[in-house]
A = this chain, B = another copy of it.
Amino acid sequence: MTDSPEGTPAAENAAPHAVSRRRLFGAVGAGAVLAGAGAVIGRVTADENSGTDHADVVAFRGEHQAGITTPAQDRMHFVAFDVTTKSRDELITLLQTWTAMAERMTAGQEATEDGATGDGPYAPPSDTGEALDLAPSQLTLTIGFGPSLFDDRFGLADKKPAALLDLPHFRADNLDPNRSGGDIAIQACANDPQVAVHAIRNLARVAFGTASVKWSQLGFGRTSSTSTTQATPRNLFGFKDGTANIKAEDPNALAQHVWVDPTDDQAWMAGGSFLVARRIRMLIEQWDRAVLKEQEAVIGRSKRSGAPLGAKDEFDELDLDSKMGHDFVIPEDSHVRLASAEELGGIQILRRGYNFTDGSDGFGHLDAGLFFVAYCRNPVEQFVPMQQNLSRHDALNEYIQHVGSAVFACPGGLADGKDWSSQLFT
């Protein structure tokens, strides 16, 4: 928590000190490139007093983009941009600038070489400075391109993945256009929210004149585990969420359900994935009035342990056949049954959502819910049939409402020397 090396006056401030972005620079180096983006490449420090004991750096480059199978960080800031320029070159330049900044920031450095104060008194600082003293906090920045980017503005129509279609209308959707869509998305995840917000803000800043913020969402707590090394968190309905998720430690499941194969679709999407975002308002007042038995029947799992109904332990398999009298133990309209691979001919997705709360709704209630984010190899074949099944039959529908929706094609990870324009524009 100091921007100066030990021994300087700030050290008098009695707080345990994290390694600063500047000191880190020496330790990790701008050019440090490691195999396999998403791997944690160095526990730098733990600051006992800052709430960020995750000082790790997640590799920016690798076969896949980080932020997908990276063990879900605690906080998220997500932004969707409209591209406002009509110039293909300006868009390419922006993607290149963003890449350089993203690589620096994920390594715990300031957004630019000049930084918050290094470019002299008569220039606007090229980093906004609010993350100056903070650890890297496992920041990942993941980019995706929306269907609208592939219209006739930038000559990308031929590059449009077949699977990148605006999502169809699902039953009971109540979408706000101001929280939906977008030409480009950037997902920032980090264990310190200020690090995630700082990253998005600096990327938005340099986009001025080329792209502008269409919508953004802060997720205050992860509501999925994406790795067997993580405990399962709870969503705002009080249930464990992420138990039956695809985990980073299951390469077969990832290859089958998450990563785009070069033969699938557009070649530029090799090693990439499709991101589906749904802002789901949770009607927590209705939910809170439901009795425990109803809540557990709606989800299909026990509230405290997270075990499937009829089973004992959180990680026991769903037994979809078992009956109690005439009724299935895991009810026919329960969420986990309807979303399960068994029910959906083997379909699975990687969930990576966050709890949100955005003030109140004007009717005496909190505006809170799940910012659902999922990755899959083909949204048309995976997310759409799954959500169709849920939107038609899920008992949960009485307690939720989908209010935002977007889909983005996220290219594979970057090799050395490549940037976020390389895959799409060549």
Contacts and interface: CB of A to CB of B under 8 A. Distances in A.
Interface of A: 1-4, 8-10, 12-15, 17, 46, 48-54, 73-75, 77, 79, 82, 84, 116-117, 119-125, 127-133, 178-179, 191-194, 197, 200-201, 204-205, 208, 212-218, 220-221, 228-239, 284-285, 288-293, 295-296, 302-306, 312-315, 355, 357-360, 362, 364-366, 368
Nearest to A215: B360
Given A220-B194, A234-B133, A121 B53 contact: no
B229 A15 contact: yes
A238 B288 contact: no
Contacts of A84: 364
A173 to B, nearest CB: 19
B216 A291 contact: no
A230 B193 CA distance: 18
B303 A9 contact: no
Task: Classify the interface of chain A: helix, strand, loop or mixed.
Answer: loop
B292 A355 contact: no
Nearest to A53: B53
15 contacts: A8-B313, A13-B231, A14-B229, A46-B53, A121-B292, A122-B292, A125-B238, A129-B303, A130-B238, A133-B231, A192-B221, A194-B221, A197-B220, A201-B368, A205-B285
B235 A124 contact: no
A51 B77 contact: no
Given A231-B2, A303-B125, A315-B13, A218 B215 contact: no
Contacts of A290: 124
Given A125-B238, A130-B235, A292-B117, A9 B312 contact: yes
Nearest 7 pairs between A and B by C-beta?
A: A129-B238, A212-B364, A1-B231, A9-B313, A51-B74, A121-B293, A15-B231
B9 A216 contact: no
Which has the most chain B C-beta neighbours within 10 Å: A131, A238, A313? A238
B49 A303 contact: no
A168 to B, nearest CB: 25
Nearest to A288: B205
B238 A116 contact: yes
A237 B4 CA distance: 19
Contacts of A122: 291-293
Given A14-B229, A52-B51, A315-B13, A358 B355 contact: no
Given A130-B234, A132-B304, A239-B129, A120 B292 contact: yes
A228 to B, nearest CB: 6
